[in-house]
Amino acid sequence: MNSIKNLPKNYYRRKNNNISNGVKEERNYYVYILASKRNGTLYIGVTNNLLNRSFQHKTKENKKSFTAKYNVNRLVYYEIFTDVREAIAREKQLKKWKRKWKIELIEKENPTWRDLFDDL
């Protein structure tokens, strides 16, 4: 019978390290687009907690941030990834896109620019 004290020291890790009981847990990463209004100012970001991050934007947690200054708080688009490197690469790719392409991407999935925050 295996006892806990016979397990390797690193078998139990904090959940913050995305590992529990020696088994890697699935974690999602999100690339998201916020807008001030339809066809308004856009912001692209990446996070591992879309609900919390969206709430931070909505409540203007950082009063001096770009999103607070320009009232960019409507979640209009997001993509889900399981690999943080892919999510960061996609964020960088979208940031390089022309504005027209970003608007087309949003309108393909969310033609009314509805705030998706309520769906989270």
Q: What's the CATH number where 10 sits?
A: 3.40.1440.10
Contact 1, 65 (CB under 8 A): no
Q: What domain range includes position 32?
A: 4-119
Does residue 99 sit in helix, strand or coil?
Answer: helix
**pLDDT recorded at residue 21:** 57
Q: Which residues contact 36 (CB under 8 A, 6 or more apart)?
A: 70, 71, 72, 73, 74
pLDDT in tens, 69-99: 999 999 999 999 999 999 999 999 999 999 9
Could you give the number of structural domains in the chain?
1
pTM value? 0.80
Give the separation between CA 48 and CA 76, rounded to whole angstroms: 17
Residues of the chain with pLDDT under 70: 1-25
